[in-house]
A and B are shown apart, each in its own frame.
Chain A
Amino acid sequence: MVNTKVAIIAANGGLFDAYKVFNIASAAAASDAEVGIFFTFEGLNLIHKEAHKNLPLPEGKEHFQEGFTKANVPSIEELVEIAQEMDVKLIACQMTMDVMSLEKDAFVEGIEVGGAATFIEYAKDADISLTF
């Protein structure tokens, strides 16, 4: 997976969405791929300092909380840290931040802020592109 580039768009902000994004991203990074994630609209929740610690389960699926605990699944906080340790690039969407009146300091340390063109430039030669 060296010389493999993975470009991910995270556009949704629930707990299930977060696991989809960070599990794939950290597995790819652990396999030596270069990984970048563009967080847009509700996807910004996944890297929001406070929100990412308590992401909602889908309505009617709250009972899965027990399953997460039982399966010893890492928290999203841990997965964000792991992703950053493995140099996964986290890009927050500037336009969404403007719409939602969010500043860079509302997010976890180490993120980049960019627009759609930033992501397109990153993703143009990606081997794997995913949207969640």
Chain B
Amino acid sequence: MDVNKILDAKGLACPMPIVKTKKAINELETGQILEVHATDKGAKSDLTAWAKSGGHELLKDTEENDVLKFWIKKG
């Protein structure tokens, strides 16, 4: 996947992964892709909801060794 920016939000607790993701996506253009890494277990449902409410598209998410990864296309 052609990723434009990677955000490391590992170790951060709610609501920081969402706040940092919001700031990061502000720096992208529509259609560009942000990759987010998080360890907050709530991030899975939160980032899914956040992407929906902001009109962004959650393309894919994975979980490996307690690290959640998300790929979000800016809407």
Contact = CB atoms under 8 A, between A and B. Distances in A.
Nearest to A23: B15
Contacts of B50: 27, 30-31
Interface stretch (A10-18, A71-79, A95-103): A71-79
Interface residues of A, number: 15
Interface in A23-78: 23, 26-27, 30-32, 71-74
Nearest to A68: B13
A30 B12 contact: no
Interface of B: 11-16, 18-19, 21-22, 46, 49-50, 53-55
Given A1-B53, A32-B53, A26 B15 contact: yes
Contacts of A31: 18, 22, 49-50, 53-54
Nearest to A79: B15
Contacts of B22: 30-31, 86
Interface of A: 1-2, 4, 23, 26-27, 30-32, 71-74, 82, 86
A73 B38 CA distance: 14
Contacts of A72: 11-13
